[in-house]
Homo-oligomer: A and B are copies of this chain.
Amino acid sequence: MTFLIALTLFVLAVFLGVELITKVPPTLHTPLMSGSNAISGITLIGAIATAGTDYSWLTNILVLGAVALATINVVGGFLVTHRMLGMFNRKR
């Protein structure tokens, strides 16, 4: 993938992100924030892909930290969002 194709993907996704989020009701700001925050934990797959490419102790530690921290972000983020939304939904 060339840099410019990568940039094209980036630009398309930015436009899409803007369109998806404009006009959310304030009620949903908090769950939307924590839900999209969980998605930003996608860096986890970067961490996984990086593991095992190098055997120096320094990179191994960096990678272990990256995997663990990104997992907290992902797992915690989705769970907490679910809990929050659950409170809204009991009412409908």
User: Which residues of A does B touch, CB under 8 Å?
Assistant: 1-2, 5, 8-9, 12-13, 15-16, 19-20
Contacts and interface: CB of A to CB of B under 8 A. Distances in A.
A12 B16 CA distance: 8
A19 B16 CA distance: 8
Contacts of A2: 1
A44 to B, nearest CB: 20
Contact of A9 (B12, B15, B20): B12
A5 B10 CA distance: 13
7 contacts: A1-B5, A5-B9, A8-B9, A9-B12, A12-B12, A12-B13, A19-B19
A43 B15 CA distance: 23
